[in-house]
Amino acid sequence: MAIISDNFLLSNETAKTLYHDYAKQTPILDYHCHIPPRDIAADRRFDNLTQIWLEGDHYKWRLMRANGIDERFITGDASDREKFFAWVKTIPMAVRNPVYHWSYLELARYFGIGDTLLNLANAPSIYDRCTALLQTADFSARNIIKQMNVAALCTTDDPTDDLQHHKKIRQDGFAVRVLPAFRPDRGMAVESPELFNRWVAKLEAAADREIRNYQGFIDAIKNRHDYFHAHGCRVSDHGIETAYAADFTASEIAAIFDRVRLGNGLDDTEIVKFKSAMMIEFATMDSQKGWVHQLHLGALRSVNSRMQKILGPDTGFDAMGDFAVARTLAQFLDRLHQLDCLPKMILYNINPKDNEVLATIAGCFQDGMVAGKMQFGAAWWFLDQKDGMTTQLTALANVGLLGRFIGMTTDSRSLLSYPRHEYFRRILCNIIGVDVENGEIFEDMDTLGHIVQDICFNNAVDYFSILSN
């Protein structure tokens, strides 16, 4: 029996109706992803299945390493065909991992292979069949996005980026809105003076101005913020361990900036003060322009220093952190609220212990003026799986308004990742369907169906306001 059937993950009739009649055909607004804009600008074609399926996918790389696959067949110099066979050896071992489901969903939705157990016996024919399809026009980067019913997507971009790829995408008249997102984390990374100063040099070049002091630094960032806004950006993003909310004075931050510009190291107190100041600066810029401010909290990054030196960041050596987030996050949001510059904000956690923490803190800063202004974000990274999505949706529903949730995002570098939205939608419909059939929710299918559609798409359209710009 095929795993990816019409009723995959749908355990009852209500769930089936909600998914097939309401969720299935709803477009996708992928408001946070890491797809390289250069691939979309060039309308990239992929030479083979390995390139599009395994390139840059650290989810799969981690599993291959755990399966005893040598690095040569993961990120090394083995042929693409050999790398694919190494991944095929790993898939059976990945039962109950979300990548197992994602892999079969991707084969089904993109290549029409939905009823086949992938194994070493049929791997050559599947590789050849998919590789042949990838040579057709339907499998260019832009056509892949269109065939998955994507209405808009936001990439993740450094403030120093010239956005040339985004300009080309817009000039070409691509039907899908592809917009940049502003990720200024390097502008607060003063724990490494060398890397920070290297970034400031790039910022000077991008903003075409010399940065002599802290105010000049902020002015240069505002210049780039304006530039991104002019090119359609309406969302920023931070990937940080925790929020920062230390007390500071303007003179302290100016002095800290001068010290780090001279290449001097800072103590922990100075680092936290500077990060606290920059968080306020970034959020204020977003508030003034009506942007959405995203905080991805809690990842413990690059814990394997040996492999970090060999392969660099974002190669599968990050972990779930256990940082304290509640007090500093609440203080950060409270300070913004006191300054009357609290933007729309999405709070993501990577550790499930923080589900109710973030959901309840978000509830403290809803202002009654924007529905769902403060969002407890979708299950992210290590929580981006069936149990993680279920517990995130449950925590949100228990202490907030599920019907105002802005739904799923891929957070992925892969053009084949869009079935993750389907995965989420099936889980969402099943959760609601179970409650209906247990007699816990009225069987008002019209209302419930529209709530499902709102969560899948409509709420995000209203929240980000990027389809009408």
DSSP string spanning 271-324? HHHHHHHHHHHHHHHHHHHT-EEEEEE-EE----HHHHHHH-SSSS--EE----
* Residue 350 pLDDT > 90: yes
Predicted TM-score of the model (pTM): 0.96
Q: How confident is the model at residue 468 (pLDDT cuts 50, 70, 90)?
A: confident
Q: What is the mean pLDDT of residues 321-332?
A: 96
Please state, in angstroms and rounded to a whole number, the distance separating the CA atoms of residues 280 and 263.
24
* CA atoms 182, 272, 329, 219: torsion sign: negative
Strand order of the β-sheet with 177-179 is: 28-30, 150-154, 177-179
Other CB atoms within 10 Å distance of the CB of residue 339 = 12
Would you state the pLDDT for residue 458?
97
Buried b (16+ CB within 10 A) or exposed e, 163-201: bebbebbbeeebebbbbbbbbbbbbbbbbebeebeebbe
Would you state the pLDDT for residue 469?
62
Q: What is the mean pLDDT of residues 421-445?
A: 98
C-alpha distances in Å from residue 349, one per residue of 34, 78, 289, 303, 461: 18, 36, 25, 18, 23
Q: What is the mean pLDDT of residues 137-152?
A: 96
Are residues 258 and 270 in contact, defined by beta-carbon separation less than 8 angstroms?
no
Please state, in angstroms and rounded to a whole number, the distance separating the CA atoms of residues 379 and 408.
8
Q: How confident is the model at residue 467 (pLDDT cuts 50, 70, 90)?
A: confident
- Tell me the pLDDT of the chain averaged across its residues: 96
332's CB contacts (< 8 A; 6+ apart) are: 243, 244, 245, 276, 279, 280
- Amino acid identity at 185: D
User: pLDDT tens-digit profile of 239-253?
Assistant: 999 999 999 999 999
Please state, in angstroms and rounded to a whole number, the distance separating the CA atoms of residues 451 and 23.
10
User: Where on the phi/psi map is residue 338: left (φ > 0), alpha (ψ -120 to 50), or beta?
Assistant: alpha
- What percentage of the chain has pLDDT greater than the value 90? 95
Q: Measured in whole angstroms, how far is the alpha carbon of residue 314 from the centre of its chain?
A: 13
C-alpha distances in Å from residue 38, one per residue of 156, 171, 182: 12, 14, 16
Please state, in angstroms and rounded to a whole number, the distance separating the CA atoms of residues 96 and 90.
13
Bridge partners (DSSP) of residue 239 are 296
Cα(first)–Cα(last) distance of the chain, in Å? 46
Please state, in angstroms and rounded to a whole number, the distance separating the CA atoms of residues 365 and 373.
8
Q: Which of 374, 375, 383, 393 is nearest to 351 (CA)?
A: 383
Q: How confident is the model at residue 220 (pLDDT cuts 50, 70, 90)?
A: very high
Q: What is the mean pLDDT of residues 332-338?
A: 98
User: pLDDT tens-digit profile of 1-21?
Assistant: 678 999 999 999 999 999 999
Please state, in angstroms and rounded to a whole number, the distance separating the CA atoms of residues 210 and 201.
9
Would you state the pLDDT for residue 328?
97
